[in-house]
């Protein structure tokens, strides 16, 4: 599979997906969004891949937003369609059955931030900058930012950022809970790898079902969510991993999970 706007390789169970338009600060044009989905789809059911690290090429940006050149061409009807199709891709990211970590290496703005928000975990370099500057262009979020940001950092904090368009640094993003960790730039990918390598030692089916419980559960009432959790919890007891995990504990040895 060959791509124009992303780099994609797999090493040690990790798929590395790099947005690769550094001269445009990795702005997310439609071609890039489609390639992102195709790349993820190609490893979704591949048992040799356990997780994904998503980052941006170059020193400056993770992604500086949707491509403003493309946005400028939209009509009301095409803009709605563009938004719906992009939302579909971000739902695919959010419901991906393996952890996706956004390694935010620089500007993480607009659609770039919305993409990072759809990932399961966000780790930022000290140089990263975050914002939803759509209002500067006379538009608003169209890729879930007005929905995922308040759910992640709280309504009041999100509203301020969404309606001022203010940019914040990585330390402030950490304080707000927008990102899980902040690292020196040269340790960003290593931190993401460390998180994934920890996950890879756990029961793969339990990890997958946990992602499902959180991602689907967040859209449910608490009553429905805990019911979903009970169902998925019960499903864990049909796996060999469950037998191995409990047996290994009782035998005081590390578990050797097979993802079955
Ligand atoms: N869409 C399309 N092109 C973009 C872009 C975007 N979202 N963000 C940056 N670029 C392009 C610039 O047009 C420029 O291209 P050029 O060299 O062909 O002129 C190149 O990337 C470098 O950007 P530049 O603005 O020169 O870098 P900077 O360091 O001076 O400023 C930013 C960086 C991020 C502050 C600035 O690029 C910016 O505000 N970008 C738009 C952010 C935004 O509004 N995103 C939300 C979109 S909905």
Q: How far apart are CA 1 and CA 220, in angstroms?
A: 37
Structure tokens at 234: 């019960």
* Whether 149 and 235 share a structural domain: no
Structural contact between residues 204 and 241, judged by C-beta atoms closer than 8 angstroms = yes
- Which one, of 24, 23, 63, 18, lies nearest residue 39 by Cα? 18
* Whether 31 and 121 share a structural domain: yes
The atom of ligand 1 lying closest to the CA of 136 is 44
* Whether 241 and 128 share a structural domain: no
Domain annotation covers residue 259: no
Read off the pLDDT of residues 17-31 as tens digits, 9 standing for 90 and up.
999 999 999 999 999
* Whether 114 and 237 share a structural domain: no
Structure confidence at residue 1 as a pLDDT band (50, 70, 90): confident
Give Cα 43 distance to the centre of its chain: 15
- Which one, of 240, 148, 191, 192, lies nearest residue 50 by Cα? 192
- Is the pLDDT at 196 greater than 90? The verdict is yes
Q: How far apart are CA 115 and CA 91, in angstroms?
A: 10
When the pLDDT of each residue in the chain is averaged and rounded to a whole number, the result is: 97
Structural contact between residues 94 and 117, judged by C-beta atoms closer than 8 angstroms = no
Read off the pLDDT of residues 97-151 as tens digits, 9 standing for 90 and up.
999 999 999 999 999 999 999 999 999 999 999 999 999 999 999 999 999 999 9
* Whether 120 and 231 share a structural domain: no
Read off the pLDDT of residues 214-258 as tens digits, 9 standing for 90 and up.
999 999 999 999 999 999 999 999 999 999 999 999 999 999 999
- In the reported structure, the alpha carbon of residue 24 is separated from the centroid of ligand 1 by a whole-number distance in angstroms of 6
Domain annotation covers residue 136: yes
Pick the residue whose CA is nearest to atom 37 on ligand 1: 64
Structure confidence at residue 39 as a pLDDT band (50, 70, 90): very high
* Whether 97 and 55 share a structural domain: yes
Q: Which residues pair with 56 in a beta bridge?
A: 19
Catalytic residues, by residue number, are 114, 134
Q: Which residues form the domain of 126?
A: 6-199
User: What does each C-alpha distance from 198 to 51, 94, 192, 235 come to in angstroms?
Assistant: 11, 20, 10, 23
Pick the residue whose CA is nearest to atom 38 on ligand 1: 64
Q: Indicate the SS3 state at residue 173.
A: helix
Pick the residue whose CA is nearest to atom 34 on ligand 1: 64
- In the reported structure, the alpha carbon of residue 88 is separated from the centroid of ligand 1 by a whole-number distance in angstroms of 25
Q: How far apart are CA 55 and CA 1, in angstroms?
A: 19
């Amino acid at each position: 599979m060959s791509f124009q706007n992303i780099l994609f390789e797999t090493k040690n169970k990790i798929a590395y997906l790099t947005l690769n338009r550094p001269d445009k600060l990795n702005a997310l044009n439609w071609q890039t969004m489609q390639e992102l989905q195709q790349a993820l789809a190609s490893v979704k059911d591949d048992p040799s891949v356990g997780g994904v690290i998503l980052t941006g090429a170059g020193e400056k940006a993770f992604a500086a937003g949707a491509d403003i050149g493309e946005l400028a061409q939209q009509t009301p009807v095409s803009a709605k369609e563009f938004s719906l199709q992009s939302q579909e891709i971000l739902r695919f990211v959010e419901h991906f059955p393996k952890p996706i970590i956004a390694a935010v290496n620089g500007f993480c703005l607009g659609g770039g931030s919305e993409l990072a928000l759809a990932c399961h975990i966000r780790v930022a370099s000290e140089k990263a900058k975050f914002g939803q500057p759509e209002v500067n262009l006379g538009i608003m979020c169209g890729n879930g930012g007005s929905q995922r940001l308040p759910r992640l950092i709280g309504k009041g904090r999100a509203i301020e950022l969404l309606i001022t368009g203010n940019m914040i640094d990585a330390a402030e993003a950490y304080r707000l809970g927008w990102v899980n960790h902040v690292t020196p730039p040269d340790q960003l990918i290593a931190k993401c790898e460390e998180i994934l390598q920890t996950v890879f030692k756990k029961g793969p089916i339990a990890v997958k079902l946990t992602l499902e419980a959180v991602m689907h559960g967040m859209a449910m009432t608490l009553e429905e969510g805990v019911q979903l959790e009970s169902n998925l919890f019960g499903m864990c007891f049909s796996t060999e991993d469950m037998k191995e995990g409990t047996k290994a504990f009782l035998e005081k040895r590390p578990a050797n999970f097979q993802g079955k």
